[in-house]
Amino acid sequence: MKITYYGHACFAVEVNGKTIVFDPFITGNPLAKDIQLKNIKADYILISHGHEDHTADAVALAHQTNALVVSNFEICNWVQEKGINRVHAMNIGGHYFFDFGKLKCVNAIHSSSMPDGSYGGSAMGFLIETSHRNVYYSGDTALTYDMKLIGDYKRIDICMLPIGSNFTMGIDNAIIASEFVNCDKVIGMHYDTFPPIKIDHQEAKEKFTNAGKELLLMNIGESITI
C-alpha cells in the first residue's frame, strides 16, 4: 500500500491496483502550490464532509479522472448537481465492498456545510480494510470515545488524524485517539495550512514518541509504502 500526501487532509492511497483520493483540496492550498491537480490520478474520491478545505477540487478531479465519488448522501447529491454522475452515497455505520476492499463509514464529531452554505449531511471518517493493510482516516473530528469501537473492530495498521487543533482535535487528543483505535503509526493532517492551525513539528513528534507512538509529518508530494 502506497500513501501520498497532497497537503492539508488530502491523501492518495494506492492499494490493489486502485487509487483512492481523500478530501481533495489542492488548488486553494498555498502550501500545495507545487502539486498539479491535473497530474493526480483517482479511481475513487472519498469526501469526509462538505467544508471547502475538503471538497474544493472534488468536482474538477472527478471530471478529470472519471473517479467514483463516495461520500454521504447529501454531498453525493451536491456533487451530482455539479454534473458528476458517478457517485456512491453511504452513511455512518454502513460498509460496502469496492474492488479495492471494504470501506466503512464511521463517526466523526464535526460540522459539514457545503461551500455554498447548503446542507452537507454528517461529517464522517473512513475505515478501509484491504487484503494488504487496514487504514483509518478520521476526517475532521474531535476526540470521541466512539473511536474505541474502531480499534475493537479491526486491526488498524496506520491512521491519518488531524493534529492542528482549533477546528479539530490537536496533538494531545490525537495521541489519545491513536490509543483508542489501537494504532501506533499516525500520519498527521489538518495542520499548518492556516494560521490558527500552525504547529511546532518537533514538539508534536516528541509528544508522540514519549507516548510510545510514531507521528509522520509527510512533506507535501511525499509518498510512503507500508
Q: Got the DSSP string for 198-213?
A: ---HHHHHHHHHHTT-
Q: Tell whether residue 14 is a contact of Mn ion (CB under 5 A).
A: no
By CB under 5 A, the residues from 25 to 84 that bind Mn ion are 51, 53
Strand partners, 90: 72
State the minimum distance, in angstroms, from the CB of residue 163 to Ni ion. 14
Nearer to Mn ion, 19 or 138 (CB): 138
CA distance 189 to 175: 13
State the minimum distance, in angstroms, from the CB of residue 195 to Ni ion. 16
Q: Which residue is nearest to Ni ion (CB)?
A: 51
Cell of 210: 514519549
CA distance 35 to 165: 25
Residue 14 interacts with which of Ni ion, Mn ion, none, CB < 5 to 8 Å by class? none
Is residue 164 within 8 A of residue 191, CB to CB? The reply is yes
- Residues ≥6 apart with Cβ < 8 Å to 116: none
Q: Candidates 49-57, 95-103, 186-194, 211-219 — which segment interacts with Ni ion by CB under 5 A?
A: 49-57
Kindly give the pairing relationship between strand 124-129 and strand 134-137.
antiparallel
Report residue 97 CA to chain centroid gap. Answer: 19
Q: Tell whether residue 140 is a contact of Ni ion (CB under 5 A).
A: yes
Q: Tell whether residue 51 is a contact of Ni ion (CB under 5 A).
A: yes
By CB under 5 A, the residues from 129 to 158 that bind Mn ion are 140
Applying CB under 5 A, what is the total number of residues that bind Mn ion? 3
Q: Tell whether residue 190 is a contact of Ni ion (CB under 5 A).
A: no
Residues at the site binding Ni ion, with contacts judged by CB under 5 A: 51, 140
